Amino acid sequence: MPTSPTVRPATPPTLWLARGRHLGSAAEDSVLRTLRRLKDSQDIDDFLELPEAEDAPERVVEARWRAPGDVTVRARLALARASAGGQEWTLAAEAEQPWDPAWPSPATMFWPDDPDATWDRDVATGLRLRGVNPLPDDDKDVRRVLRNAARSPWNVHFVVHEAMTPDHRGREALVRWLPPGLRHRVIEHRAAPQQLRVVNWALEEFGVQVPRGGAVVLPGTPVPAGYEAAAFSVRSVFLDGSEPTGLIAALTAFAALPRPLPEGGDAALAGLREEWHLLTLEEELARERRLVAMYAEALEAMTKSRDLYREAAERANEALAAYRESAGTPPPRQPAAEPSLSPLRQLTRTLERLKGTARTLRPFPAGAESASRPEGGPDRALPSPGTGEEDGLVPRPAGTGDGSDRSAGTGDGSDRSAGTGDGSDRSAGTGDGGDRPATAPRRADGGDPPAPSPAADGGPEAPLGTAGADATATSAATDDGGDRSPKPRGTERG
């Protein structure tokens, strides 16, 4: 069997297929008038004109009738949009059994069977389907016409040579003797007596010849299987009005040969079978039953596929568990999701951060600030009692100032050491200039009281009256030229 994608499917024996051109722009009106007349006379059962879509390339009309023997025939006519050369049409009709050429032509169910009608024009050659078509006088035109006719896949073409000029009886078309089902699919070409050599010269490339006074059926393209030029060549055709039985037999036999669908014929057949709208109640019921059966089959296939997938997944899980048991590896754990903080917890954390920031920025009391900062000196934080520091600041011990401090016994000659008598001095540990320092206890022998040991860890400053302060005061008194001698503690104010 051929597998080439260029091989077209064969034409079904139940199909009647034709194509032509209607000259003018009133093709649709002509078709609808004919269908209404035939429906009124009950020659057809019904017809339907499909609504025209905005972007549809053609208009579609459907009809249904009964052929002899109560055989239902469905036909679909597609009318292309009008152009300068007219409107092309494609007619596809299918019966419930193989087509009989003796049945009425589907073309006469849509088009008027009037000799003056202009719907019967061949698309390939522009010639009439129901009349006699004389070949042109020019040799090149003859070759062009016959070449197009021999390559036409839609209609059947035959050439008749006139041995002598016929009378009015011989000038009538021979297609009228054909069965009704073939009359509108066959085109007759007439060659004048002097054109025999030209015709045979034009037909050489197709392997056929016209006998003098006879006829030949052109093979078409592609050549159907079983075609032989001698079998479809008639030696003599009498043009006296009698029936050409030999020619009619050859044409009927050629039409019965299996032929592939012409280009565009598969689309016409698909539209007839798959896009049919003119249904009876029985046909609608049968169609719905077919749809239900189709959906049931699809659902069953999907269910079966789901079950197979589930079974395969279970087997895979079992195999994976067995492999883990044999390998001694625990099943993988899913990572624990990090718990999300509640809004209350987030607010609590925010308040704790704000509380710590406010504590570091809290201002000192007025008394603590003045006590930790002597007059005229730099700002220093007040040490916490017993810790030696407050808020991370370590105080300086007494006697280690840089001249600007006004601590006891420190600085240059402008400083006032602890124990001096003027009231302008500020001694360490006093709240202001008017307060008097506490008098240190004196020894029984009149000497200085014992000095406590200074803090070794940078604790609070030693109180006034200690040994460390006396030593500092003594050194400070000697730095300014020795004009002042240190006074004992507790004698600066009477």
Return the closest-CA partner of residue 85 out of 18, 23, 148, 28: 23
The pTM of the full predicted model, rounded to 2 decimals, is: 0.59
| pLDDT score for 467 | 40
Label residue 167 by pLDDT band (50, 70, 90). confident
**CA 346, CA 360: separation in Å to the nearest integer?**
22
Mean pLDDT of 264-279: 91
- The 3-state DSSP class for residue 228 equals coil
Q: Tokens standing for 176?
A: 């009228």
Element (H, E) at 432: none
40-69 tens-digit pLDDT: 999 999 999 998 777 778 899 999 999 998
**CA 115, CA 93: separation in Å to the nearest integer?**
23
> The domain 10-121 is classified under which CATH number: 1.10.10, 3.40.720, 3.40.50, 3.30.310?
3.30.310
Label residue 332 by pLDDT band (50, 70, 90). low
| pLDDT score for 6 | 62
For the chain, give the mean pLDDT: 76
Q: Tokens standing for 195?
A: 């054109």
Q: What percent of the chain has pLDDT over 70?
A: 68
Residue 369 pLDDT > 90, yes or no?
no
The string over 28-52, giving b where at least 16 C-beta atoms fall within 10 Å of a residue's C-beta and e elsewhere, is bebbeebbeebeeeeebbebeebee
Q: Hey, which residues does 17 pair with through a beta bridge?
A: 92
Return the closest-CA partner of residue 159 out of 264, 234, 241: 234
**Where is pLDDT greater, at 323 or 342?**
323
Mean pLDDT of 88-98: 94
**CA 306, CA 104: separation in Å to the nearest integer?**
54
Residue 378 pLDDT > 90, yes or no?
no
| pLDDT score for 454 | 43
| Cβ count within 10 A of residue 384 | 13
Q: Tokens standing for 34?
A: 């004919």
CB 232 within 8 A of CB 206: no
| pLDDT score for 336 | 58
User: Hey, CA dihedral for 411, 412, 415, 419, is it positive or negative?
Assistant: positive
Mean pLDDT of 320-328: 85
Pairing of strands 156-161, 132-134: unpaired
Those residues with Cβ within 8 angstroms of residue 163's Cβ, 6 or more apart along the chain or in another chain:
193, 212, 213
Residue 305 pLDDT > 60, yes or no?
yes
**CA 462, CA 474: separation in Å to the nearest integer?**
16
Residue 269 pLDDT > 90, yes or no?
yes
222-253 tens-digit pLDDT: 888 888 888 999 999 999 889 999 999 999 99
419-434 tens-digit pLDDT: 333 433 443 333 344 4
- Residue 11 carries which DSSP code? P
| pLDDT score for 472 | 40
**CA 155, CA 151: separation in Å to the nearest integer?**
10
**CA 474, CA 480: separation in Å to the nearest integer?**
11
CB 246 within 8 A of CB 208: no
- The 3-state DSSP class for residue 64 equals strand
Label residue 329 by pLDDT band (50, 70, 90). low
> In angstroms, how far is the first alpha carbon of the chain from the final one?
142
Mean pLDDT of 348-359: 73
455-494 tens-digit pLDDT: 444 444 444 444 443 434 333 334 444 444 444 444 444 3
Q: Name all contacts of 412-416 with Cβ < 8 Å and 24+ positions apart.
A: 412/479, 412/480, 413/479, 413/480, 413/481, 415/476
**5 HSE (CA, 13 A, CB side):** 0
Count how many residues are written for the chain.
494
Q: Which of 77-86, 209-218, 269-278, 312-321 has the lowest mean pLDDT?
A: 77-86
Q: Where are the beta strands (DSSP E) in 85-131?
A: 87-95
Q: Token match 């598969």: residue?
A: 266
| pLDDT score for 340 | 59
Label residue 194 by pLDDT band (50, 70, 90). very high
Label residue 337 by pLDDT band (50, 70, 90). low
